[in-house]
Amino acid sequence: MEKKVLIVYAHQSAGSFSAAAKEAAVEVLKAKECSVEVSDLYAMKFKATATAEDITGKVKNSEHFRYAEETKLAWDEGRLSADITEEQRKLQEADLVIFQFPMYWFTVPAVLKGWFDRVLTLGFAYTKEKRYSNGIFKKTKALLSFTTGSQETMFSPTGINGDMNVTLWPLQNGILHYCGFQVLAPQIFWAPEDAAPEGRSAMLAAWNTRLQGLLDEKPLFFAPMDWFDCEKSFQLKPESVEKCVQEFGLTAGTHCGNHCRLITR
């Protein structure tokens, strides 16, 4: 069956390496008979800031405006703004979502953070019952594809920036896995601006190759909900602690399933 792909793309310039990586994904995936939609956030002038204007009509409590509760209510009643509703439609239809961006300050640029803040609303993207391995998007795959300014060695466990898995934890676990997405390994383009033209071409060629089999990749491992006591404290059950320490380490190590272990003192 035809697969649907959404690319959420955040770079200001069509001449950028990020643009080339996005174009490669569009081409390869279309050739594989996927239908591909691109949300080009800068071109769309996508609103980044979460405000009461995201709700059509009256808010429930303007004196004490609470974004999550107000957007939950608006979503229930079909009163989210048109731009949010449109992104939610694209996301709901997608089998795979690729986020293509340059890393800004160890995470996504503000315009993409705004997409997460405004599109992944309570009710639509998660509830207290439906999150992590019980999450709403558990049938959807998601992938962070990004360029860095730093060289790879700086982001190693002994590098000055620390392990990239730690840096990606809030994005991969806190946003994507939290909403249930099957998180594919990140596609990291290390410092393309410092690379020679051949180096950049080689990075794009590797991405092209990976794109061929992307839809069949196995997602990263995250400790499932039933390893935790989800009635009360959301702590690892005693019998799971042992599994985590032996197999993956805790927290960052647990869920990334590779590279590093985190143990408590």
Q: How many other C-beta atoms can be found within 10 angstroms of the C-beta atom of residue 191?
A: 16
Compute CA distances 116 → 30, 34, 101, 234, whole Å: 26, 24, 13, 24
Q: Which candidate, 114, 116, 112, places its Cα nearest to that of 103?
A: 112
- Two tokens, residue 23: 């174009």
CB of 3 to a second copy, least distance (A): 27
CB of 57 to a second copy, least distance (A): 17
CB of 21 to a second copy, least distance (A): 15
Bridge partners of 6, per DSSP, are 37, 97
Looking at beta carbons only, is 185 or 215 nearer to a second copy?
185
CA angle, residues 32, 17, 188, in degrees to nearest 5: 75
CB of 28 to a second copy, least distance (A): 23
Q: Which candidate, 207, 243, 197, 209, places its Cα nearest to that of 223?
A: 243
CB of 30 to a second copy, least distance (A): 25
Looking at beta carbons only, is 204 or 230 nearer to a second copy?
230
Residues in the chain: 265
Looking at beta carbons only, is 216 or 232 nearer to a second copy?
232
Looking at beta carbons only, is 30 or 58 nearer to a second copy?
58
Looking at beta carbons only, is 35 or 150 nearer to a second copy?
150
Whether 192 and 147 have beta carbons less than 8 Å apart is answered as yes
d(Cα 151, Cα 155) in Å, to the nearest integer? Answer: 7
Looking at beta carbons only, is 12 or 35 nearer to a second copy?
12
CB of 198 to a second copy, least distance (A): 19
How buried is residue 233: exposed, middle or buried, by Cβ count under 10 Å (0-12/13-18/19+)?
exposed
CB of 261 to a second copy, least distance (A): 6
Helix (H) or strand (E) holding 99: strand 96-102
Looking at beta carbons only, is 24 or 262 nearer to a second copy?
262
